[in-house]
Amino acid sequence: MDSRKGPATTAATGDQVALDLELCKACGICIALCPERVYDCDERGYPVVAREEDCTSCLLCELHCPDFAIEIKRRPRKRPAKGVAVTPEAIAEARRDQVKAALAGAPGASGAECDTHGEED
Q: Does 25 have pLDDT greater than 60? A: yes
CA dihedral 109, 112, 113, 119 (to 10 degrees): -160
pTM over 0.75: no
Q: What CATH number does the domain containing 28 carry?
A: 3.30.70.20
Question: What are 35-79's pLDDT values in tens digits?
Answer: 999 999 999 999 999 999 999 899 999 999 999 999 998 876 666
User: For residue 48, is it within any domain?
Assistant: yes
User: For residue 89, is it within any domain?
Assistant: no
> How many other C-beta atoms are found inside a 10 Å radius of the C-beta of residue 44?
13
The number of folded domains in the chain is 1
